[in-house]
């Protein structure tokens, strides 16, 4: 799939077809794309847990207070093991762990679109409940939950900020790439 097409089609899906289960091999293909995201110091801090156990998925729905999570056949949990990042980068290791996870999640989501699957990036959840349900050690950071399935109906990407609202040139809040042209005698 064309990258621009995948970016433009990607949107958060909260309604999945219950009768159609994705092939786990497709999800592994998307995880393979995720693991190719940039790594600080080439240190692989991001780990993935693919959950298919219905009872555990129900616990993840409860942990996130998102009922639609319980309707899918698979949930991917993205985690960070920052031990090595922290050793090398000290305080910045935390930031680099989050950055790696974010880049990996975006790669994963775009590959899902390419494969005809959908997801919703869930970042609000009880980390303690997720860790207890899945047996994740205390030193591991749970970055996101990603329920995976086929979209019910066809949604559209919501409006995003315009380019003019988020790009500045050379200094904060400067919206012009080239200096503004002034006419002699004008007061602008």
Domain coordinates in residue numbering, the chain: 3-160
- 24: closest CA among 41, 48, 42, 1? 48
The helix-helix angle for 54-64 and 127-134 (nearest 10°) equals: 170
The angle formed by the CA atoms of residues 73, 20 and 27, to the nearest 5 degrees, is 55
**Percent of the chain residues past pLDDT 70, beyond the cut:** 92
Tokens read off for 7: 């970016």
Tokens read off for 165: 């609202």
Domain 3-160, CATH:
3.40.109.10
| pLDDT tops 80 at residue 4 | no
Q: What is the 3-state secondary structure (H, E, C) of 55-80?
A: HHHHHHHHHHCCHHHHHCCEEEEEEE
Query: Which pLDDT does position 67 carry in this prediction?
Result: 92
Q: Torsion-angle region of residue 152: left (phi > 0), alpha (psi -120 to 50) or beta?
A: beta
pLDDT class of 153 with cuts at 50, 70, 90: confident
48 forms beta bridges with 78
* Helix spans in 19-176 (H): 24-34, 54-64, 83-89, 92-114, 127-134, 163-166
Q: Write down the pTM of the prediction.
A: 0.86
pLDDT class of 79 with cuts at 50, 70, 90: very high
Average of per-residue pLDDT values in the chain = 89
| Mean pLDDT of the 112-133 span | 96
| pLDDT tops 60 at residue 40 | yes
């Amino acid at each position: 799939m064309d990258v621009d097409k995948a970016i433009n089609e990607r949107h958060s899906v909260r309604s999945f077809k219950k009768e159609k289960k994705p092939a786990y091999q497709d999800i592994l293909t998307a995880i393979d794309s995720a693991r190719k995201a940039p790594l600080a110091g080439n240190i692989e801090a991001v780990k993935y847990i693919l959950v298919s156990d219905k009872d555990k998925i129900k616990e993840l729905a409860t942990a996130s207070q998102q009922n639609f999570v319980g309707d899918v056949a698979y949930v991917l949990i993205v985690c960070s093991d920052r031990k090595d990042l922290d050793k090398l980068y000290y305080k910045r290791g935390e930031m680099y762990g989050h950055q790696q996870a974010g880049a990996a999640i975006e790669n994963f989501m775009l590959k899902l679109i390419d494969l005809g699957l959908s997801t919703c990036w869930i970042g609000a959840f009880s980390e303690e409940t997720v860790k207890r349900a899945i047996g994740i050690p205390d030193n591991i950071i749970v970055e996101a939950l990603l329920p995976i399935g086929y979209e019910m109906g066809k949604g559209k990407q919501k409006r995003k900020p315009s380019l003019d609202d988020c790009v500045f040139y050379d200094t904060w809040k400067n919206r012009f790439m080239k200096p503004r042209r002034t006419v002699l005698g004008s007061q602008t």
